[in-house]
Structure 1
Amino acid sequence: MGTKLARDFIQSGTSNVTRQILTLNAGAEKRLRSGHHWLYANEVDTSKTPLAGIEAGSVADVQDARGRTLGSFMINPNALICGRLISRKAGRELTRSLLKNRLKQALAIREQCFENPCYRWVYGDSDGLSGLVVDRFDDILSVQVSTAGMEAHLPMILDLLQRLVQPKGIVLKNDGKMRAVEGLPSYVEVAVGEVPEQVALIENGVQFHAPLISGQKTGWFYDHRPNRALAAKWSAGKRVLDVFSYLGGWGITCAAQGAAEVICSDVSNSALSGVMENARLNGCDDRVSTIQGDAFDVLDQLNQERQRFDVVIVDPPAFIARRKDIAAGERAYQKLNEQAMKLVNYGGLLISASCSMHLQAQRLNDIIRSSARKLERHAVLLAEGGQGADHPVLPAVPETRYIKSLFTQVTPGL
């Protein structure tokens, strides 16, 4: 959505939101009453209240089969998740006041938790703004919208973001896979001011440069921040391998905080150029090197060379994007962790991370356990990590909890 359209929308102050009422099938309200925020299309009693014809991005009141109100929802009749909660009260809209209050509440939490203005300012449902992600890089914002409801209110959101923090620039990274599911176009666009190709950020006291416009997702991954801090603490004086490194979030943090040697591996040459730039930025480039290639091939190569590391970090992209990918994805995690564990010096640390929401934490534990048994290693779990405070978890919405990180000491088999 272009900046001119944003200005026109803001000046007009109008909205195309229409009020609808949807009735659920008997019993379909249980998950919503327990605290979940999403409504699925097969839960709607379409014989009473058809979804067909409802405009994507409009707002509807939802009620159970007995007519009891469940709340106000953003609706997209063309998506499996056809409703996303706005409020437990009926008759609520995504008004300017509501959006402003939730943006301010989310900002206050992050300002309380982080010393520097570098964090995920908005994390969708957890901040009452389903389908909206805002990452902050000091005075630059990266915004990602994944639902029709939020897309309809994007001009107003952009205006509020500007008023709340006065950024120099805002980029819309609206090229995520979920947009196609919602029937939305894919685009990347500078919506406000100027956005440089490289932006500066500070994480765990370490400086980084990240490419917002050409980079992955919103440009940076803040979600593993606490796990990177723990990895760095336990890597002082150690030899470290960071696989799927991207820009070196894990590896450079370890190097900057005292690791003796860090090797970062990624399939992308441009990402590895970013690794070395970030190493120079922190004055540790003499202890950082890179290997370009497919992660599984690189691990095989290092094993053939009989290389060993005190700390091996594997933080792959989501191997399980959908439920139907679970079996194949778990096999990939199994292979990855077996290869990585072979490279760990006895007494060393395997840090196995995952961003796959569909990979349960216990299954990752099982994968580490079975890898250790197959390789005749003794694996001891020292710590488990989750996502940072800028990715808060809604207990009733398990989909908001996706980050897992296991810190496992590996020794000879007993």
Structure 2
Amino acid sequence: MAHPELFLKKNEDKRLRKGHLWVFSNEVDTQRSPLNQFAPGDMVKVVTSDNQILGAAYINPGTLVCARLLSRKPGAKLGSKMFTTRIARALALRERFYNKPYYRLIFGESDGLPGLVIDRFGDVLSVQITTAGIERQKEPLLEVLVDLLQPTAILLKNDNPQRILEGLSTESVCAYGTIPEQLIIEENNAQFQIDIVAGQKTGWFYDHRSSRALLTQLAKDKTVLDLFSYAGAWGIPAALNGAQQVSCIDSSAAAIALAKQNAQLNHVSDNMQFVQSDVFEYLKQARLERRRFDIVILDPPALIKRKKDFKSGYEAYRRLNHLALQVLEKDGILVSASCSYHLSKANLHEILRSSARHIDRNLTIVATGGQAPDHPIHPAISETEYLKTYFCAVSESL
């Protein structure tokens, strides 16, 4: 049976023809295809105003992004066959980069499965479903994952607030097997105990892996300040690679406890210290006490989650970088990162430039980082490129 048609208004097909996968509700010709005739998760055939077929999508008529293209083939269906093909392809790509099963297996649109994120932690999978289209096919998805990967457990980490916009409930449930009490992963020759049930997002941030590897080359005999340290993903590899002293700062007691456990796991507790504190307040106090560090890592959570938050978020990034520079040792390295999609590379450049000039420092960017290969960027979908990291050499003014 053919999918019902979703007609676009005139000239609203340009972005899709360039490779993007989203259809916004205000782009739909609701005279020809009233949105109220569709149920969340229905498959539709996307058609231009002059009746050219663009492909098959799933739809949620009550959301801003009301349809997400899955295939240029108009009869394509979301189900076991598509899941098998696309997950197997994504798996083969990851296995070319990583020789151990610790990575993001599916990264939404970039892997041809909008609304789905899967992180692999050895034999355990953390699955995040954020759209009604994927939710409706949850059972065949789980069956495919079991068949392809033979996991011991699958956690549905469905606590993302985007689900509310899709009319879905938010919860974290074990959908298969049993989540182990202790789950340990490997990254950059370090081991980390993680909490995928109560932890942030899917339980771990694989996206910074490549930048964290670069840091290990710079850490020997240096004092390192790891701000917003979470489980110690930056600081612990630095300690393992010869850092003289590593200080991990986070406002979360649970994060600090986890980082301490991971320091013990990697036998680096002796040259690490952990402080539960608001990062802004910690930096102000460190500046007051004239404490200095050879390397400062600034990797905050997203401070601009929505476009309307840009002004306040930009100011927060500016203040953080300004304070971080003031506790940096002479000829130190600032690692400044942002995972906010709405903060552009140019924005972060300007923050670094102005912050350095304000305190009369010479700052040059000596290396850049971005998403690791398991977070591929779709060139037609700018939303898939969100992470930017700058390694900055900072010296006295010229």
Question: Does TM, scored on the shorter chain, surpass 0.5?
Answer: yes
Give the AA of the match of 1:397.
Answer: I
Q: CA RMSD in A?
A: 1.1
Q: Distance in 2 between matches of 1:141 and 1:105?
A: 17
Q: Deviations over 1:346-376 (max 9, x none)?
A: 1100000111111111111111001011111
- Of the three residues 25, 45, 68, the one matched with 2:29 is 45
Native 8 Å contact 2:294 2:328 kept in 1: yes
TM-aligned CA deviation for residue 47 of structure 1: 1.5
1:71 match: 55
- Which stretches of structure 1, 4 residues or longer, exceed 6 Å deviation after superposition? none
Give the AA of the match of 2:336.
Answer: S
Q: Deviations over 1:14-72 (max 9, x none)?
A: xxx98321111111111110111111111111121111231001110111111111111
Give the AA of the match of 1:287.
Answer: N
Q: Distance in 1 between matches of 2:161 and 2:211?
A: 26
Q: Note if 1:302 corresponds to 2:286.
A: yes
- Of the three residues 230, 234, 253, the one matched with 1:250 is 234
Q: Distance in 1 between matches of 2:250 and 2:347?
A: 25
2:219 match: 235
Q: Distance in 2 between matches of 1:101 and 1:267?
A: 42
Give the AA of the match of 1:324.
Answer: K
Q: Distance in 1 between matches of 2:279 and 2:343?
A: 20
Q: Distance in 1 between matches of 2:384 and 2:258?
A: 29
SS in 2 for 1:213: coil
Question: Which runs of 5 or more structure 1 residues have no equivalent in the other structure?
Answer: 1-16
Native 8 Å contact 1:18 1:59 kept in 2: no
Matches within 5 A, 1:366-381: 366-381=350-365
TM-aligned CA deviation for residue 253 of structure 1: 1.4
Matches within 5 A, 1:11-410: 19-410=3-394
SS in 2 for 1:381: strand
Question: Which runs of 5 or more structure 2 residues have no equivalent in the other structure?
Answer: none
Percent identity for Structure 1 against Structure 2? 45
SS in 1 for 2:230: coil
Q: Distance in 1 between matches of 2:314 and 2:249?
A: 22
Q: Deviations over 1:198-248 (max 9, x none)?
A: 311001111111011111110100000000011121111100000000001
SS in 1 for 2:37: coil
SS in 2 for 1:190: strand
Q: Distance in 2 between matches of 1:197 and 1:397?
A: 38
SS in 2 for 1:272: helix
SS in 2 for 1:196: coil
Q: Distance in 2 between matches of 1:307 and 1:116?
A: 39
Q: Distance in 2 between matches of 1:197 and 1:348?
A: 40
Native 8 Å contact 1:63 1:69 kept in 2: yes
Native 8 Å contact 1:175 1:187 kept in 2: yes
Give the AA of the match of 1:226.
Answer: S
Q: Distance in 2 between matches of 1:79 and 1:18?
A: 24
SS in 2 for 1:19: coil
Native 8 Å contact 1:312 1:344 kept in 2: yes
SS in 1 for 2:68: strand
Q: Distance in 2 between matches of 1:400 and 1:20?
A: 29
Q: Deviations over 1:292-346 (max 9, x none)?
A: 1111111111111111000000111101111111111111100110011111111
Q: Distance in 1 between matches of 2:173 and 2:213?
A: 33
SS in 2 for 1:402: coil
TM-aligned CA deviation for residue 388 of structure 1: 0.3
Q: Distance in 2 between matches of 1:204 and 1:389?
A: 14
TM-score by length of 1: 0.95
Q: Distance in 1 between matches of 2:209 and 2:320?
A: 22
SS in 2 for 1:142: strand
Native 8 Å contact 1:57 1:149 kept in 2: yes
Q: Distance in 1 between matches of 2:210 and 2:37?
A: 46
Q: Distance in 2 between matches of 1:273 and 1:206?
A: 17
Give the AA of the match of 2:280.
Answer: F
Q: Deviations over 1:244-287 (max 9, x none)?
A: 00001111111112211100000111111111111111111101
TM-score by length of 2: 0.98
Q: Distance in 1 between matches of 2:330 and 2:27?
A: 53
| Paired residue total | 398
Native 8 Å contact 1:124 1:131 kept in 2: yes
